[in-house]
Chains A and B, each alone.
Chain A
Amino acid sequence: MRHLLDTVNLSREDAIRILDVAETMGDVAGREVKKLPALRGRTVVNLFFEDSTRTRISFEAAAKRLSADVINFSAKGSSVSKGESLKDTAQTLQAMGADAVVIRHPASGAAQRLARTDWIDAAVVNAGDGTHAHPTQALLDALTLRRELAARDGVSPTGRGLDGARVVIVGDVVHSRVARSDVWLMHRLGARVTLVAPPTLLPVGVESWPCDVELDLDRALAAGPDAVMMLRVQAERMQSSFFPSVAEYSRRWGLDAPRLAVLPPQSIVMHPGPMNRGLEISAAAADSPRSRVLAQVANGVSVRMAVLYLVLSGANTPEGA
């Protein structure tokens, strides 16, 4: 694996491999010495054009547990408008000897641009680009769900997909890179994904995605999904008439206590964070035993360790994903 840019072009085989490696990486967190020497002497740059402390520290922890040198490059404000282009930044990092660049950028496709141009030779890991993709988030969601399903069946998660699982993703799909990455990854791993959103927050063209679309949350929940993923909804969307009011959104598409109660006992609740309590998710749901929000955070480090290990070890083969 040369880069990790999105999940549309990630094969089932590669995805399962990442999850399997992440499983073994997860063990390190429980050890006294939480460090592996695999990436000793390699330099990982966290190139963040957007504020995201959570994602950045997750990647930072992952790189450090693998003994890589980490450089945090907070490039917010040094975008084209301020004179420095993505190309110049990339070439600067190249000159500094970066082996991998973890990029978070407000423009969709920024990671692809880094990977596909000759600006930089480093491996590129997409840590979220605009409203396009957030592949490591999708992978940690899959890891969380896979572990859940394996525990329920009393088997090892290793080597398995998400075959037969039913996942409901609720919220602002049109602006969500998480939803896009989840849909393709989970579909490829064999899960059946249903998107639930107000029609204003579904993209034109969603009918071509490998998932079902449902406008009514109660109907989607009545089908007894294995996991419900609530997407963050920004209250500002109200100003652009995506929905009339926070109260109406939350009434129709929020995961409140009564909706939580209709879920089958084994269903879990996930959220990519940060949560808007009282908007898309009630405190009751966020704090319920079904919530896997903290497990997602822990799994995030494991998945990012796996991804960094896989893009940085080995003779770099022609691009696989």
Chain B
Amino acid sequence: MSQNTGASTPEEERGREVLTAAEIDRALTRIAHEIVENTKGAQDLVLLGIPTRGVHLAARLADKLAQITSRPVDHLLGSLDVTMYRDDLRHQAARTPAPTVVPAAGIDARTVVLVDDVLYSGRTIRAALDALNDLGRPSVVRLAVLVDRGHRELPIRADHVGKNLPTAKGESVHVELTEMDGVDRVVIR
């Protein structure tokens, strides 16, 4: 990565790092504590990650919740695919849906925390709320995101935010996680 030819600077190529691995970990720890506080010790909690990176973030949150509460929480963890609920299916190339996994106890009358990597237009979360609606009736739905980059197009807000990140619309925010990308960091390109 040290050799660069052409006009672009190293920063433009690699992107500007806005969250380091340590900062990501601290943010998730903080969100985990907030969730425990809000749900009176993670009672009746269900964590649903939105594929793909939201699923990994949800798993990490589950680990932290287990540490904080000293109870296993794997059975509260699931994933929620929103592909079939998107409002742009006609305009985008067809996406392959990912599995939806709901904890055995279901989501009825529980506090569901949706977990995603980046909150942007809000359309993914709109789709997630519709998807949730077809699965059952939670008592409360909350939203946890690692990064909120603004530019909302729908009246949606996050309850737990790792970092608020002011961005220009032309920029793109990339969350990279060791599970998929071999490294933990958030960059803007």
Contact between A27 and B99, CB atoms less than 8 A apart: yes
Bound-complex Cα distance A141 to B163 (A): 48
CB contact under 8 A between A38 and B84, given known A1-B94, A317-B93: yes
Contact between A37 and B100, CB atoms less than 8 A apart: no
Contact between B89 and A33, CB atoms less than 8 A apart: no
Chain A 6-26 interface residues, beta-carbon cutoff 8 Å to B: 17, 20-21, 23-25
Residues of chain A with a CB closer than 8 A to B97's CB: 21, 24-25
Contact between A37 and B85, CB atoms less than 8 A apart: yes
Which label, helix, strand, loop or mixed, suits the secondary structure of the A interface?
loop
Q: Is B98 an interface residue (CB 8 A)?
A: yes
Residues of chain B with a CB closer than 8 A to A37's CB: 84-85, 130
Q: Is A211 an interface residue (CB 8 A)?
A: no
Contact between A313 and B94, CB atoms less than 8 A apart: yes
- What is the minimal beta-carbon distance from A29 to any residue of chain B, in angstroms? 13
CB contact under 8 A between A33 and B94, given known A24-B99, A24-B100, A27-B100: no
| Number of residues from B at the complex interface, CB < 8 A | 20
Residues of chain A with a CB closer than 8 A to B99's CB: 23-24, 27, 158
- What is the minimal beta-carbon distance from B95 to any residue of chain A, in angstroms? 8
Chain A 201-256 interface residues, beta-carbon cutoff 8 Å to B: none
Residues of chain B with a CB closer than 8 A to A17's CB: 96
Q: Is B153 an interface residue (CB 8 A)?
A: no
Residues of chain A with a CB closer than 8 A to B83's CB: 38
Contact between B135 and A31, CB atoms less than 8 A apart: yes
Partner of A36, one of B84, B91, B93, B95: B84
CB contact under 8 A between A309 and B85, given known A24-B100, A31-B135, A32-B136: no
Q: Is A314 an interface residue (CB 8 A)?
A: yes
Q: Is B4 an interface residue (CB 8 A)?
A: no
Residues of chain B with a CB closer than 8 A to A32's CB: 135-136
Bound-complex Cα distance A190 to B130 (A): 39
Residues of chain B with a CB closer than 8 A to A31's CB: 134-135
Bound-complex Cα distance A36 to B133 (A): 11
Partner of B135, one of A23, A33, A315: A33
Q: Is B116 an interface residue (CB 8 A)?
A: no
Chain A 30-81 interface residues, beta-carbon cutoff 8 Å to B: 31-33, 35-39, 66
Partner of B94, one of A36, A66, A158, A309: A309
Q: Is B5 an interface residue (CB 8 A)?
A: no
Contact between B90 and A313, CB atoms less than 8 A apart: yes
Q: Is B9 an interface residue (CB 8 A)?
A: no
Q: Is A298 an interface residue (CB 8 A)?
A: no
Bound-complex Cα distance A32 to B89 (A): 24
Partner of A315, one of B84, B91, B130, B134: B91
- What is the minimal beta-carbon distance from B85 to any residue of chain A, in angstroms? 6
Bound-complex Cα distance A21 to B98 (A): 8
Q: Is B81 an interface residue (CB 8 A)?
A: yes
Contact between A310 and B84, CB atoms less than 8 A apart: no
Q: Is B70 an interface residue (CB 8 A)?
A: no
Bound-complex Cα distance A37 to B131 (A): 9
Q: Is B8 an interface residue (CB 8 A)?
A: no
- What is the minimal beta-carbon distance from B107 to any residue of chain A, in angstroms? 11
Contact between B85 and A314, CB atoms less than 8 A apart: no
- What is the minimal beta-carbon distance from A307 to any residue of chain B, in angstroms? 11
Partner of A33, one of B81, B93, B96, B134: B134
Contact between B85 and A36, CB atoms less than 8 A apart: yes
Bound-complex Cα distance A313 to B85 (A): 12
Residues of chain A with a CB closer than 8 A to B81's CB: 24
Instruction: Encode contact with A along B70-97: 1 for CB under 8 Å, 0 otherwise.
Output: 0000000000010111000111111111
Q: Which of A23, A32, A314, A315 has the largest count of B CB atoms less than 10 A from its CB?
A: A314
Contact surface of B with A, Cβ cutoff 8 Å? 81, 83-85, 89-100, 130, 134-136
27 A-B contacts (beta carbon < 8 Å)? A1-B94, A21-B96, A21-B97, A23-B99, A24-B81, A24-B97, A24-B99, A31-B135, A32-B135, A32-B136, A33-B135, A37-B84, A37-B130, A38-B84, A38-B85, A39-B89, A158-B99, A313-B89, A313-B90, A313-B95, A314-B92, A314-B93, A314-B94, A314-B95, A315-B90, A315-B92, A317-B93
